A and B are shown apart, each in its own frame.
Chain A
Amino acid sequence: MDEVFRALASPSRRTLLDELHREDGRTLTELTTRLPLSRYGVMKHLAVLEEAGLVVTRRRGREKLHFLNPIPIRLIHDRWVSKYAEPWASALTELKRDLEEEAHAEASRGGHAARAR
């Protein structure tokens, strides 16, 4: 997890993640055109992101494609955020159930009324 926070502590590296979030599976050359950095500079930043698991690479022929891997950030979320989100999500689930029950009751009342007429 230290590596993840270290990797995220750089604005250039966050910009690289933004670029991959916008469009995944890009080459070093494509990414270099998006940042005011040298090819070598972008390569170094990508290496730090890859070391932290935030970027994974796959080969396509002779090209190396870079993908955003959201899993390490998801694990950070699960560790600290889930506790706060849980009651909120279950409240929403309850609200949905209440509304559906109400709608259902409404519909069956409507049905009886229609038959009564």
Chain B
Amino acid sequence: MQRHPEAGTLLEPDDTRAVFEIFIKTTPERLWEAITDPELRARYSFGVGTQSDWTVGSEYRSSVPGVIEIAEGENLEVDPPRRLVQTFTALWSDDVRQAGASRVTWEIAPVGDDSCRLTVVHDQLSPNANPELYGGWPMILSGLKTLLETGEDLTTPGSLRYSQAGG
């Protein structure tokens, strides 16, 4: 496995964060599409699509209309197919709503001839932030890898919990 330590972003002092890294056999363009296309996104995000026009300063919303609101925020940096920085306000319960806005950074780096390293950094969380706020990432990223490498949906428990909802 190739390592590229120089690619890491510089962290600001003292903000609590979680870092996730996954290697996926795909192109940066396909990976970017899977992150920004609502239907593809829903297939590995508990069945929840994300709507946005993906321009700097635009809003996004992750929800199953009429069933559940998951998150909303602003796209701070949009640099396809390399980097996406967003504010993240969780909406799925009163408790997580109180946490307010944190920040999510997606970084895509090509590795070797046919793969990408995707790093997701979730920061600007308060020190006692509810672990639910960032606890969904391993399942989401694992599902994203499965979708891009096999074309199939990952069907571990809960991974598609809203996909049949409202239907």
Residues of A within 8 A of B (CB): 3, 24-25, 50-53, 56-61, 65, 67, 69-71, 74-75, 77-78, 82, 85-86, 88-90, 93
Q: Nearest 3 A-B pairs (CB), nearest first?
A: A89-B157, A74-B138, A82-B156
Residues in B neighbouring A59, C-beta threshold 8 A: 8, 10-11
A-contact bits for B1-44, CB 8 A (1 contact / 0 none): 10101001111110011111111000000000000000000000
Bound form: Cα–Cα A107–B145 in Å = 44
A58 in contact with B22 given A71-B141, A74-B138, A86-B156 (CB within 8 Å): no
Q: Nearest-CB distance from B18 to chain A (Å)?
A: 7
Give the contacting residue for B13; candidates A61, A74, A86, A89; CB below 8 A: A61
Q: Is the CB of A90 within 8 A of B20?
A: no
Dominant SS among interface residues on chain B: mixed
Residues in B neighbouring A74, C-beta threshold 8 A: 138-139, 141-142
Residues in B neighbouring A51, C-beta threshold 8 A: 1, 3
Q: Does B100 contact A (CB under 8 A)?
A: no
Give the contacting residue for A53; candidates B1, B10, B16, B139; CB below 8 A: B1
Residues in A neighbouring B158, C-beta threshold 8 A: 89
Bound form: Cα–Cα A85–B119 in Å = 28
Nearest B residue to A69 via CB reads: B21
Q: Is the CB of A90 within 8 A of B19?
A: no
Q: Chain B, interface size: which category? A: 20 to 34
Q: Which of B116-167 contact A (CB under 8 A)?
A: 119, 121, 138-139, 141-142, 145-146, 154-158, 161
Residues in A neighbouring B161, C-beta threshold 8 A: 93
Q: Is the CB of A25 within 8 A of B157?
A: no
Residues of B within 8 A of A (CB): 1, 3, 5, 8-13, 16-23, 119, 121, 138-139, 141-142, 145-146, 154-158, 161
Q: Is the CB of B138 within 8 A of A71?
A: yes
Residues in B neighbouring A77, C-beta threshold 8 A: 156
Q: Is the CB of A88 within 8 A of B145?
A: no
Residues in A neighbouring B145, C-beta threshold 8 A: 75
A75 in contact with B142 given A56-B119, A67-B18 (CB within 8 Å): yes
Give the contacting residue for A60; candidates B11, B16, B138; CB below 8 A: B11
Nearest B residue to A89 via CB reads: B157
A85 in contact with B156 given A53-B21, A71-B22 (CB within 8 Å): yes
Bound form: Cα–Cα A65–B17 in Å = 11
A58 in contact with B141 given A51-B1, A89-B157 (CB within 8 Å): no
Bound form: Cα–Cα A79–B15 in Å = 34
Q: Is the CB of B17 within 8 A of A25?
A: yes
Q: Is the CB of A56 within 8 A of B1?
A: no
